[in-house]
Amino acid sequence: NTNLIDEKSYLHCCVSYGDDHNMESMKTISTYVETLQLLESSLKSVEVEISVLLDMKEQLLSEELQTARANVR
């Protein structure tokens, strides 16, 4: 990810020049980025679970429909 590379070089720049305030800001931003990445991966796993549940629902509905048709005959 190019943003991470830029972030690291900026962090290094801050360390080189002893810019404490910017350094703290970058740490905060870094923490936000990590938190957002965690949220994103959590959302993706929830999406997968929802998708699996929807597939199961479709399967059950299909089976119920087949059973209902068989009972009608």
Determine the pLDDT at residue 3.
56
Is residue 11 within 8 A of residue 23, CB to CB? The reply is: yes
User: Rounded distance, CA 63 to CA 51, Å?
Assistant: 18
Provide the pLDDT confidence category of residue 1 given band limits of 50, 70 and 90: very low
Model confidence over 16-65: pLDDT tens digits?
Answer: 555 666 777 888 888 999 999 999 999 999 999 999 999 999 999 999 99
Q: Give the global pTM.
A: 0.53
CA 72 remoteness from chain centre: 47
Axis crossing angle, helix 20-72 with helix 2-17, rounded to the nearest 10: 160
Q: What is the domain extent for residue 50?
A: 2-72
The structural domain count of the chain equals 1
In the chain, what is the straight-line distance between the N-terminal and C-terminal CA atoms, in Å?
Answer: 60
Is residue 62 within 8 A of residue 54, CB to CB? The reply is: no
